[in-house]
Every structure is written in structure tokens, then in C-alpha cells.
Structure 1
Amino acid sequence: MRRTTENKNHVLFLVHRKELIDQIQNTLIMSGVDMKHVTLGMVQTIVRRLDRTPQPELIVIDESHHILASSYKKIIEYFHEARVIGFTATPVRINGGGLGDINDTLIEKVNAKWLIENNFLSPYKYFAPEVIQTNNLDIKRTGEYDITQLDEQFNQRKVWGDVIKHYQKLANGEQAILYASSLYQSQKMAASFEQVGITAAHIDGKTPKTERDHIIQQFRNGDIKVLCNLDLIGEGFDVPDCSTVIMLRPTQSLSLYIQQSMRGMRYRPGKTSIIIDHVGNVSRFGLPDMERTWTLEPKKGSNSKKAEAPVKICPDCFMTVLSSNKQCEHCGNEFKVEVKPIQMDDAAELQEITEPIFKVDYSSPNDCKNMKELYDYAKQHNYKRGWAYHQGKVRGFIK
């Protein structure tokens, strides 16, 4: 971009979120790019102003795994003589396919393991203490889970107290970013942390910019410990360094999973990032720094939603490790009894590894207030569903 603008040629830089524009502009200025010859804008804006946008010699696309969207295609076709360069940490579509419909060449120089080994990313520990059932969730046309159903699970399982306990146990006092599955959940979690004396705040895409900037500055200053959000702090979003990520959002997207799980891995000497996965994303994708074979092929292949290697969870501390490990890297527990590997395409397998605080806390069937609680009680006590059905009939839950 610097060389292009030095030659008085124009550059079009496309982003998909307005929150990214300021930080990218500052980076370009620091890098000596002549901004008089740069159009920097959201793809949604540029696609409406094609006839008013200067002809670019070069098009640069940030987070270019979005490139197959119709708006990007329209811009590229309109400026068909321009060279196009896209950057992404996750060159894969949400359905697992490649990006070869638009891109000609894939250039991959380093991977996540190399970045960790060479101190560009911090090492991490991954914990998966609980799994929300996803096998019975509806998937929308976008390929993601239905938010309403996720809210219902969140309420029924009453997980907010457990999320707080795990934060206190695994990352007490560390600054954390929490990814929620809905606006309601994010706001509720922020309030729940506040109730136990842990400073927290919620932001989302509709939070006014001045308020959002103030909250992020408070987070930067350490005045806020847990920053809850709904998909805002994701691709390219510049937030202060933190060490901990709390995942309450199950996803079908490998791209989103990598972006969010590695958000706390900005390098700092002596730092170890903590990833607390309450929704079993690791069971769908494997560990975030697994070596993956990226390809531009527009068909499902090695980038499918199954992980490349099985993992298992330590029954003592709940850290996620490779199934080949004979000892837990976190607590030193030796796996004398084989822990059943998690099936990468079945999140429900993680239900075998639970902590007591996640178990249903009903001392008798009389404590159950609806059929959901009765079925949970039956599952905990190894009773058949027919038993729960009969108890529900007796109690008037089923007419």
C-alpha cells in the first residue's frame, strides 16, 4: 500500500465493521501510507458508492474470508482491473469450504504453533468444564445456532453462577473477555459478575461509540475485570491485552472459534492465556493451534468442522489436552484410567466430564418444578425417561 500510494496510485481498503476503521487508519499512517490516495471504508458503504469511488490500482480486503459475500463480489467485479489482496487468519467459509471462487493463490507463511513458539502469541491452557447440548438446536440459514433456543438453555441450566465459579477457580483476578450467545445473555452475565463484586461491563454493536470507548478504556486501565460482548470483540477488533477468554457461545464456524478462543493470546513475557469453554466448541474443532491444512478448494475437505486430532479432558482440573497425553499439563494428574476421547463431531460427549457444581441440585423429585427438571433429575440418577414422564403426570406437568 505504501509503494502504491508513493506512485500516486489509489488503494481501496475494505473492512466489514466500522469499529475497525480508526485503528486501521492509524496503522496505515504509522506505516507511511499516503492517505490522500486511500479510500478506507466499510464494504456495505463502498458497494453503494461505486460510481463515486476512485478507480483503485490495488484493493486490500481485511478479514477476507468474507470475500464470497455478494457485496464483495460486486466491488471486485466493478473494479475488475485492480489487483486484489486479502488477509485472514482463518481462510475458510462457515460451511467448511475454501475461498477459491475468488482467490487465485493462497500464501501461508506461518501457523499458530510457530507464532507461539516464537513469542508472537502466548501459550495457553484450555478448559472445558461443561457442554451445552447442541445436537437438538436448530441451525439458521446463516449456519449458526438459533439465539432464542440458546437463551432458553442458558436460563434452564442456570449457568451464570457456575461461570463465575470457574472464572474464580481458573483465572481469579485476571482480565477476561466473555463471548455470549445473545444480547440478553451478555447483559445478564455482566450483572451477575457485578453482583459478586467482580467488576464487569457489557458492550455490543449498538453501544454508542463514546460509551463503548469509555468502557474499553476502563478495561484497559484494569478498572473492569470481565468485558462481556455479543460478537463485537472478534475479527480484528482492537482491545487491550487480556489473558482470559470465557466462551458461552456455541458456534458452527471454525473461523469464529479461532478468532474468539485466541483473543487472549496477545504475547506478553511470562503470560499464559486461559480459555474457558463452557459450550464444547473444542469438541467440534479441536484445540485452536492445531495444525490445519488450508486450501482454496470450494468444497469441504480438511477444513471441515471436525478437528484433526482427538482431545480429552482431565477429570481433576478439566484442562483440555491431546488424547495422547499421559499426564495433565496443568495439574500433573496421570491418566491411569483412559479418558474417553471426545468425538469431534459430537459435543454431547463432553457431558461425561462434569464438575459437581454443574450437576442438577434437586434432592428429590418433589423439588422439580417442570418436566425439564424432572428429565434432568432422571438423567443424573440413571432413571429412564419413562420414570420422569410418570412423575410428571402425577404432578400435573403433563395433561
Structure 2
Amino acid sequence: MILSHVKELLEQAVDKIHTVYPECDIGIYSTGLKRWDTDNKCIVAGIQSAYRNTDGFGNFDLIIVDEAHLIPEKGDGMYRNFLRRMKDHNPELRVIGLTATPYRLTSGPICAPDNILNKICFEVGVKELLQQGFLCPLRSKASRQEIDASGLHVRAGEFIESEVDKLMNTGDLVAQACSEIISYARERKAVIIFCCSIDHAQNVLAHIRKHDSTAEAVFGDTLPSFRAEILERFKAGKIKFLVNVGVLTTGFDAPNIDCVVLLRPTASPGLYYQMVGRGFRLHPDKKDCLVLDFGGNIERHGPVDSIQVEPKADREEPLGKTCPKCREVVPTAAMLCHVCGHSFIKEKAESEEREIGHDAAPAKVAILSGEITDTEYAVQSVRYSVHEKRNAEPGAPRTMKIEYRINMLQSFSEWICPEHGGYVKLKFIRWWRKHAPGCDLPHDAQDAVWLATEGALEWPTHITVRTVSGEKYPKIIGYRYPEKQQDLPSLDEIPF
């Protein structure tokens, strides 16, 4: 048996099984699909229908639960009762759970030794699927109008709906958001919009229809025939904007979606993933999917391929920042927007000099982790100093800190290690021979500072800094010198 909770997923399961296993003997048991098959070797069933007929199926050897994160952790819900009764029929029954969100906000992973699902037999991450070409790349932008969700309260792992509606469903905010959606989605073909309430969705739909009369909305109480007709038109490209409230998050399969709009904040990492995940499907007419975040969700939960599940109260800082010029969501530590080139300069200088590489805010987030941004900066000045690690033991090796000043408020630093041993020392030797060709190696950090100050190291005119979303610190990866030093060998070509 393949078990799920909405008829769209049942239909998709039948379709996919027929694709990969055409000769499979498939039956369907679902009141919503008006089929009540029980004798086939494979039954695709809706939990609401199957739950009422546990004695009518006979024995199953295997039950596969789609969207398995919906199995409750404890209690007597439909899934747990149904599986328990089916195991009474066949004590050797095996249960497999499939899900893209294998965790709950309140209790962590759904797979644990004492749970119905107790062992991970296969897993693959978003990053691997993107690299292998099975998922569509995402890019992201945030709203020009920042939303303050700090006053929202959480109940059962999610923001209270009435509070979210009060925050998001105001005339000015809806009008501004719809204007941005229309502008950003000008070149997009299939836009799905997630709202926080039916009233909110109706207001959004009214604004969108002023621009596109084909825009439609679906809700939980939309008549099944109307809903099916709207979804088919959307998948066929006859509807560009599709507004919904909580009905197209789990398993809705429309590969042509090339823009996902989060017009609501959510405290649930699972819901965040499910909404964004609507844009992951591959389609020949799209090269990427644009995620428009109006609820601060990317900054709240982090990259969608490495969502952090720890309680939000434990977070001391946002996981990203928004470019004020083009609204791209970029890593926290990015100094330059990789889309429009906007430079991020702090409004106030820090009271102490900032050591980029040790004390910098981590470069944590974009909609996907691992995104690389290489930025070249002109260097105004360079300063050398001996650096001792905080709380280091007496006699511990020191380093030479090299600080490249970009402007009055911004600098990047690197550390070279003449006093260390092993591989670290070998890296230092390579670095020194590249940057100070013909100069003797310094004996220690103090000697390195003296040689550098005396001219052994020439200031670069430019440095290139790499920021990788999901990694802690930016890294200096390139140097540009005056013309007479342009042809320095690469670091790997320098002998020890």
C-alpha cells in the first residue's frame, strides 16, 4: 500500500508508478477519487478513507507513507491507529516513510529508535540533487518593505494565524506586495503565491487581477471540480498567478512553477521548505525559480538545503540580509551584492577594530547554501602586526596579521604562520615565497612584521574575497599588484 493524505498525491503516485512499472497491478482506495479497490497487489490509498476500512484489505507486506512527517510523534491519530491495526493483521509488516522534511519544529527528527520510523535507509540532500541535475536552481529576493514579525507568538510550532493575518493583511502592505510581485515576475510564467488567510488571499487576488485577469485562487473549501479545473489551467500555462492558503504546500506537482511568493511568515521549517519546494521541479521552459520572500523566512530558517531546526529563541542573529538596492537576499557577511554590486557599509564603526576571518559575522545564508561570491576590492592601505590567539597557552605560536584596509569602515584580514609547524608551516613557506620572492624566510612572527614593514611585502592594489553561503568566514583568494609584479606564479607552483 502507498498511503497519503490528499488526492492529488494519490493521482501523482499512480502516474509515477505506471511510468516506471507499467505492468504493476494498481488499485485506488479513495473516496475523493471515487475508487474503492481492495484486491489489487498494490493499493494507492488516502489515509482518511483507508482508516475506516482496516479489516477490508487483508494483509500487506509493505506500507509506504508519502509525506511521512505527518505521522504524529505520539497519540492515536489516523496514521498511528491504521498502521497499528495493519500490523495486527501482519506482525511482519514493514513501514517506509518518504518525506523531504524529516523533522518537526518541536521534537526534531521524525526518525528515532522508538518511533514508527526508526532507521534511515536512504537519504539525499537538496545540494546533491541540484548538482546532479534533478532539481531546478533557486534564487531569492526579499520585500522592499520589511516586516517586523518579532511580536508574533508561536502555538504548536507555528505563528498564531490571527496575528499573522493582522500583520500581513493591511491595505498598504497588500498593495505594495502585489506591485512588487508583478514587477519581479514580469518575465516569469507560472507564479504561486502563499497567503496567510482566505481574506488575505482574496485581497491579494483582487490586486493581482487588476494586472492579470486570468489570476485565480484555490482554498480548502473550493469545490473539487473547480479546483481541478484551475490547477489544470495553471499547469497548462493558461493562468500565470495562482493564489492559495495552505492547500498547495505538500506534494503539489506543477513543474512549470518558476516563481514562488512567500506572502506570509512561518515559524515552521517544514512549511517553509514545502512552500519553496514547489519551485524545485524541472521544466524545459525554465532555467531557475525565483523565490520572493515577504515574511523574512529565508533569514529566519536559513538556506533551504540546510535548514536549521533548533528553536528560534536560541538564535541571536538573522541568517542573512537583504540588499537595499535590488532586494536580493545575500549572506550575512557579504560586503557586496553579487547581483547589483551594492556595497554594504556599516552605519557605525565598531568600537574595536574588526578582525575579518576570526570575529566577523558568519557568511551563512542565501536561499541555497554553497553559493559562491567573489568580489574584488581596491586596497587603500595595509597594516602588519603580531597576533596572539585569545586565551593561548604561554609560548604558543604567534601569527602575523595582515589587514587590508578597503575604506574607513571596512577591512579584510589574513593570518600567516611562521612559528607553526607541519602542514601549516609549509603553507606559510609557499605564501611567503609567492609574496616576497627573493627574501629570506622570517624566523618568527615579529621578524615577519619587521621584514614586511621594511618593504619585503609590496602592497597589492586589489584583493579578491570569496564568500560562500553556509561557511563561516570570507577568504582572500587573489591579489593584484602593480604592473611589475603582475606575473607572479600561482601558489601551487611555488616549491617548498
Both structures adopt the same fold (TM-score exceeding 0.5):
yes
| Matches of 2:184 and 2:287, distance apart in 1 | 14
Q: Does 1:238 align with 2:247?
A: no
Q: Is the 8 A contact 1:249 1:279 kept in 2?
A: yes
Q: Is the 8 A contact 2:333 2:361 kept in 1?
A: no
**1:65 aligns to what?**
69
**1:44 aligns to what?**
48
| Matches of 1:290 and 1:25, distance apart in 2 | 31
Larger radius of gyration: 2
Q: Does 1:279 align with 2:284?
A: no
Q: Is the 8 A contact 2:320 2:329 kept in 1?
A: yes
Q: Is the 8 A contact 1:125 1:272 kept in 2?
A: yes
> 1:140-179, aligned counterparts within 5 Å?
140=155, 142-156=156-170, 158-174=172-188, 175-179=190-194
**2:408 aligns to what?**
none
| Matches of 1:166 and 1:233, distance apart in 2 | 22
**1:220 aligns to what?**
235
| Matches of 1:326 and 1:198, distance apart in 2 | 42
**1:117 aligns to what?**
131
> 1:362-377, aligned counterparts within 5 Å?
none
**What is the identity, as a one-letter code, of the residue corresponding to 2:9?**
L
User: Which one of the candidate residues 6, 15, 27 is aligned to 1:26?
Assistant: 15
**2:202 aligns to what?**
187
Alpha carbons of structure 1 residues 271 and 73: separation in structure 2 relative to 1, 3 Å: same
| Matches of 1:126 and 1:253, distance apart in 2 | 19
* Other structure's SS at 1:52 match: coil
Q: Does 1:320 align with 2:309?
A: no
1:351-374 Cα shifts (integer Å, max 9, x gaps): xxxxxxxxxxxxxxxxxxxxxxxx
Q: Is the 8 A contact 2:255 2:279 kept in 1?
A: no
* Greater CA drift, 151-160 or 37-46: 151-160
**2:266 aligns to what?**
251
Q: Give structure 2 stretches of 5+ with no counterpart.
A: 27-39, 349-359, 365-496
Alpha carbons of structure 1 residues 16 and 131: separation in structure 2 relative to 1, 3 Å: farther
Higher share of residues assigned strand: 2
* Greater CA drift, 176-185 or 324-333: 324-333
Q: Is the 8 A contact 1:144 1:252 kept in 2?
A: yes
For residue 286 of structure 1, report the CA deviation from its aligned partner.
Answer: 0.8
* Other structure's SS at 1:259 match: helix
For residue 131 of structure 1, report the CA deviation from its aligned partner.
Answer: 4.1
Alpha carbons of structure 1 residues 256 and 291: separation in structure 2 relative to 1, 3 Å: closer
For residue 117 of structure 1, report the CA deviation from its aligned partner.
Answer: 2.1
**1:89 aligns to what?**
100
* Other structure's SS at 1:14 match: strand
Q: Is the 8 A contact 1:312 1:341 kept in 2?
A: no
| Matches of 2:117 and 2:192, distance apart in 1 | 33
**1:74 aligns to what?**
81
Q: Give structure 1 stretches of 5+ with no counterpart.
A: 1-11, 293-301, 345-399
For residue 319 of structure 1, report the CA deviation from its aligned partner.
Answer: 0.8
Alpha carbons of structure 1 residues 136 and 163: separation in structure 2 relative to 1, 3 Å: same
1:364-388 Cα shifts (integer Å, max 9, x gaps): xxxxxxxxxxxxxxxxxxxxxxxxx
| Matches of 1:195 and 1:160, distance apart in 2 | 13
CA RMSD across the alignment: 2.8
* Other structure's SS at 1:334 match: coil
**What is the identity, as a one-letter code, of the residue corresponding to 1:90?**
T
| Matches of 2:242 and 2:214, distance apart in 1 | 9
| Matches of 2:97 and 2:17, distance apart in 1 | 16
* Greater CA drift, 241-250 or 326-335: 326-335
Q: Does 1:15 align with 2:29?
A: no
| Matches of 1:291 and 1:90, distance apart in 2 | 10
**2:141 aligns to what?**
127
* Greater CA drift, 45-54 or 153-162: 153-162
| Matches of 2:109 and 2:126, distance apart in 1 | 19
| Matches of 1:223 and 1:172, distance apart in 2 | 16
1:23-78 Cα shifts (integer Å, max 9, x gaps): 21222223323212122222222222112222110010000011226222112222
For residue 197 of structure 1, report the CA deviation from its aligned partner.
Answer: 3.5
**1:372 aligns to what?**
none
For residue 173 of structure 1, report the CA deviation from its aligned partner.
Answer: 4.1
Greater relative contact order (CA < 8 Å, ≥ 6 in sequence) = 1
For residue 107 of structure 1, report the CA deviation from its aligned partner.
Answer: 3.5
**What is the identity, as a one-letter code, of the residue corresponding to 1:102?**
I
Q: Is the 8 A contact 1:317 1:331 kept in 2?
A: yes
For residue 317 of structure 1, report the CA deviation from its aligned partner.
Answer: 0.9
* Other structure's SS at 1:48 match: helix
Q: Is the 8 A contact 1:68 1:102 kept in 2?
A: no
1:137-192 Cα shifts (integer Å, max 9, x gaps): 3433x432222232222333632211122123322141210001111111221121
**2:36 aligns to what?**
none
Q: Is the 8 A contact 1:57 1:83 kept in 2?
A: yes
| Matches of 2:123 and 2:347, distance apart in 1 | 37
**2:488 aligns to what?**
none
Number of residue equivalences: 323
**What is the identity, as a one-letter code, of the residue corresponding to 1:89?**
A
* Greater CA drift, 176-185 or 121-130: 121-130
**What is the identity, as a one-letter code, of the residue corresponding to 1:20?**
L
Alpha carbons of structure 1 residues 104 and 151: separation in structure 2 relative to 1, 3 Å: closer
Q: Is the 8 A contact 2:138 2:288 kept in 1?
A: yes
1:176-212 Cα shifts (integer Å, max 9, x gaps): 1000111111122112100234631001222122211
For residue 330 of structure 1, report the CA deviation from its aligned partner.
Answer: 1.9
For residue 91 of structure 1, report the CA deviation from its aligned partner.
Answer: 0.2
* Other structure's SS at 1:77 match: helix
Q: Is the 8 A contact 1:173 1:225 kept in 2?
A: no
| Matches of 2:219 and 2:180, distance apart in 1 | 24
**2:439 aligns to what?**
none
Q: Share of identical aligned residues, percent? A: 29
For residue 304 of structure 1, report the CA deviation from its aligned partner.
Answer: 4.4
| Matches of 2:363 and 2:174, distance apart in 1 | 26
